[in-house]
Structures are given as structure tokens and as C-alpha cells.
Structure 1
Amino acid sequence: MHHQSEEMKRCIETCLACYQECLSMAMTHCLEMGGEHTKPDHFRLMMACAEICRTSAHFMLIGTPHHKHTCRECAEICRECAADCERVGDMESCVDACRRCAESCEKMAA
């Protein structure tokens, strides 16, 4: 029987919150703002971030030890996304969600 630790449960929640934040921010805020917000590299990074967050949460939920790999990658992409969202500006909620997720995923990947 696979048992999720409290730390893993928090990481799943953090990943899902970041997935939701990146996806909704990209699809509403960024598309409406245009300019830097919709440049291909930035937009792709946001989509990649949302997807790796969702995948990491999924891997933890199904209880595969491979979550360590997805969490490591997730932390890296989240840090990159946070930095890029900060650069673009006016995206603090996304920056915060990405940083929280990166920290949580780094612990799970260790």
C-alpha cells in the first residue's frame, strides 16, 4: 500500500496550484496583454511549466518512484518560469506560485 507523506501531499497541492496559475495566467492575462506576454519563448515556457507541474502531481498521486525525476525537472522549469515572468512583469502571482512549487519539488526530488 502506497502511503503519501504530508510533505508529498503538500507538494501535490503546490504543483496543482502552480499548474492552475500558469495555465490560467497564460490564457487570460498574457493573451490579453500581448507584447512580451505572448512572445513565443515566454508563452511556451509557461505552457511547459503548467504541464510539468501537472505531470509531477500526477506521478506523486499514482505513487511511482519516478516522481523524483519529474520533481527535479519541475523545480528547474518553475525557477526558469518565475524568472521569466518576473522579467516580463505584472505577473507576481505566477512568480510566487512557481517559486513555491520549485522549493517543494526540490525537497521531493532529494
Structure 2
Amino acid sequence: MPHIDPKMQECIDDCLDCYEACLSMAMGHCLEAGGQHTEPPHFRLMMACAEICRTAAHFMLIGTPHHRHICGECAEICAECAADCERIGDMADCVEACRRCAESCRQMAA
């Protein structure tokens, strides 16, 4: 296995944490809570966030320089997801994971 830069490894971990947080919160908390939590724009955003996080981690793990583009997009979507989850409320774990991932991905995209 090739050596992965510690900063990149941290970003991979943040992406995978955010993937897990968004997916599990959407499929558990949001579906059970209903209301605003399951409105299509919010729910789609959470699914998009989970998927871009998984994809960003994948691109870094396979070592393609294209990870920068994906990480840039990931940072944008994570920031949007964090704001929307905060707006709805009662989603602190998701907000935190998204913010951490957005920051890590901004650094990787730079």
C-alpha cells in the first residue's frame, strides 16, 4: 500500500465519518422524525453529501490527482448540508461532521 500523506489521511477519515453521519442520520433520525427532516430538498442534500464524501475518500485512496476537484465540490456540498441540518435543528452530529469534512476538503482542494 502506498504511503498516504497524514493530511490526506485525515481528510479521508473526515470524509468517511461524514459519509457515515449523513447516511445514518438520514436513514434513522430523519426518516423517523419526518416533517422538515424528510422534505425532498433536505433529504436529497443529505444523500448528495453522503455520496460526495464517499467519492472524495475513494479518489484520495486510489491516488488520482482528480481528488482536488472532487474535494472542492465536497467542501461546497458539506457546507451547504451543515447549514441546512443546523436550520432544521436536532442534527448536531451531522452538522459537526459536515463542517469538519468541509474544512478538510477545502485544504485538499487548495
TM-score normalised by the chain length of structure 2:
0.98
User: What is the root-mean-square deviation of aligned Cα atoms in Å?
Assistant: 1.0
Structure 2 counterparts to residues 87-102 of structure 1, below 5 A: 87-102=87-102
Give ranges in structure 1 of 5+ residues lacking alignment.
Answer: none
The answer on 1:81 being equivalent to 2:78 is: no
The equivalent of 1:24 in structure 2 is 24
* Distance of 1:4 and 1:69 partners within structure 2: 18
Number of paired residues? 110
TM-score normalised by the chain length of structure 1:
0.98
The equivalent of 1:9 in structure 2 is 9
Question: What's the offset of the Cα at 1:59?
Answer: 0.1
Question: What's the offset of the Cα at 1:4?
Answer: 1.4
Task: Please state whether the residue corresponding to 1:104 is helix, strand or coil.
Answer: helix
The equivalent of 2:33 in structure 1 is 33
Amino acid corresponding to residue 54 of structure 1 in structure 2: R
Question: What's the offset of the Cα at 1:2?
Answer: 4.8
Identity of aligned residues (%): 75
The equivalent of 2:51 in structure 1 is 51
Give ranges in structure 2 of 5+ residues lacking alignment.
Answer: none
* Distance of 2:45 and 2:80 partners within structure 1: 8
Task: Please state whether the residue corresponding to 1:17 is helix, strand or coil.
Answer: helix
The equivalent of 2:69 in structure 1 is 69
* Distance of 1:14 and 1:83 partners within structure 2: 17
Amino acid corresponding to residue 22 of structure 1 in structure 2: C
